[in-house]
Amino acid sequence: MGQTTEINREDILECALEIGRCMVQSGAEVRRVEDTISRIMKAYGAKSSEVFSITALVLTTVKWENGTKSTQAKRINGFGTNLRKLECYNALARYICRNRPGVEEIQKRLEEIARSRKRTWLDILCYMISAGALTVFFGGNLLDGLAAGILGLFVFFFDQLLKTATANKLVYTLFACMVTGWLAILFVSLGLGDHLDKIMMGDIMLFIPTLALCNSLKDMLHGDILTGVYRSIEAILIAAAIAGGFFIANVTLGGGYVNVVEQGPNTVHLAVQTITAIIGSVGFSVFFHIERDKIWTAAVGGAIAWLVLLLASNIVENLFLANAIAAIAVCFYSEMAARILKAPANIFLIPAVIALLPGKDFYQAVAALVNGDIQQFYLEGEATFTTLLGIEVGFLIAFIMFTKTYGFFREGVERYKYLKWMHKSTK
């Protein structure tokens, strides 16, 4: 078991900051990063730790038991979504807190996580499955799903070749969506696909900033207003880049008019909706690099989200309330799964919430803008905003309810253990 000395305290702090930096780059919310660093430093004898983290920087000042202080910072260049690595870093932090290993062992484990093998063939398959399944989910036929799946293959190569840590995310998204739109129009003109709108709806889901949408509110709820606002602005700008890319594609090759077939998920058989929601969640679970033993747990969350949304829509007949109820259900599910499986809640939340995101309304708003139908653009934009607002409010309510409920039961269990110990000690 490693011993913390005057010599290696700075090294321990550097390792803790490196874990925090990697967690942010993998998709962790800043609250989790700050808590992880604080726990690691406490395990190595820190009297107190002041940790400040945003998506671009992590800064820590530690006061040791002998009164000395250490301060270090790490710049964070770029971040994405790799939930498998996030789980690995979370597990490493738990291991460090339990066993207090030496600096060399921590550095070795960090290198092993960074060098972990890429599953290229599986990633390609998940891009294709995700886009294809959601195209059918939005009302497309099997040929449309095949076309969207092939386009998902192109998106994969775009990500591998162009989406680097230093690349401008907005420029990349605009370019990738524009080229994807051009290819979708070409496919339909060649007979590979019947409904251009459904194909584009499925492929749009590969670009929607799910992590930013989920983490922005969670950060603000925990008091990290700066990071939450930053992520919200990022999500809005990426959404604008997505809209801009498909808008340019439709104007340049689509003849300036988009034929939107009025057929959505509600006209698709319930079994087909549920199956494609599960398949889409499985695809996005691999897309976000979740470990295989947790993929189906995340996929079940996707089915729960969609079924609750359908049930709530039939009962309340209100788009905002229906999405809020579905978001509450999926948030509770992800938090419970996280507690049971000892993993970050985002691993189960992000793939599951995909089924709720308004990809159909978002695309139809862009299509209405291309067609010059301002009234329809307003209606579809309102539906998109209402859906997102319902999801965020649902997260807010679930956070408050779960935190209070979980805290109440946890306090009760701790009190029971204490009373039991007191009873034994008095005998």
217-231 residue pLDDT tens: 777 766 777 777 877
Alpha-carbon span 371 to 374, nearest angstrom: 8
Give the confidence band of 325 by pLDDT, cuts at 50, 70, 90: very high
3-state secondary structure of 60: strand
Give, for 411, the enclosing helix (H) or strand (E): helix 374-425
What is the pLDDT at residue 127? 86
Rounded CA separation 99/8 (Å): 16
Check whether 253 has a pLDDT greater than 50: yes
Query: Which of 152-156, 290-294, 359-363 shows the lowest mean pLDDT across its residues?
Result: 290-294
Mean pLDDT for the stretch of residues 119-137: 84
Q: Are 397 and 323 in contact (CB under 8 A)?
A: no
* Three-point CA angle 104, 62, 42, nearest 5°: 65
For the residues 243-268, what does the mean pLDDT come to?
67
Say what the pLDDT of residue 45 is.
Answer: 86
User: Measuring CA to CA, which residue among 342, 384, 382 is closest to residue 359?
Assistant: 384
**CA 137 to each of CA 259, 318, 341, 360, 390: distance values in angstroms, whole numbers, following the listed order:** 19, 21, 29, 10, 21
**3 state DSSP class of 383:** helix
Confidence of residue 64 (pLDDT cuts 50, 70, 90): confident
Q: What local confidence, expressed as pLDDT, does residue 260 receive?
A: 55
pLDDT at residue 265 in the model: 45
CA distances to 19, 64, 79, 120, 332 from 116, rounded to whole Å, are 15, 34, 17, 12, 31
Please give the mean pLDDT across all residues of the chain: 82
pTM of the model: 0.74
What mean pLDDT comes out for the span 109-135? 83
pLDDT in the model for residue 231:
79
Residue 239 has pLDDT above 60, yes or no: yes
Residue 427's pLDDT is 57
Question: 103-114 and 83-99 helices cross at what angle (nearest 10)?
Answer: 170
Q: Which residues pair with 52 in a beta bridge?
A: 59
- Bigger pLDDT: 79 or 17? 17
Which range has the worst mean pLDDT, 182-186, 194-198, 304-308, 346-350?
346-350
pLDDT tens digits for range 339-391:
888 777 878 888 888 888 888 888 888 888 877 888 888 998 899 889 888 88
Query: Is residue 393 scored above 80 in pLDDT?
Result: yes
Mean pLDDT is highest, among 88-97, 247-256, 414-423, for 88-97
424 versus 273: which is more confidently predicted?
273
User: What is the percent of the chain where pLDDT is above 90?
Assistant: 20
pLDDT higher at 2 or 346: 346
Least confident of 67-76, 112-121, 320-329, 417-426: 417-426
d(CA 307, CA 321): 14
Split at pLDDT 50, 70, 90, the class of 1 is very low
Q: How confident is the model at residue 261 (pLDDT cuts 50, 70, 90)?
A: low
- What element of type H or E holds 69? strand 69-75
- In the prediction, which pLDDT does 264 show? 45
Burial profile 5-35: b = 16 or more Cβ within 10 angstroms, e = fewer: eeebbebbbbbbbbbbbbbbbbbbbbbbbbb
Q: What is the mean pLDDT of residues 158-178?
A: 84
pLDDT at 92: 93
Choice among 4-13, 74-83, 103-112, 123-132 with the minimum mean pLDDT: 4-13
Which residues are within 8 A (CB) of 23 and not within 5 positions of it... i.e. 6 or more apart?
Answer: 32, 33, 36, 86, 89, 90
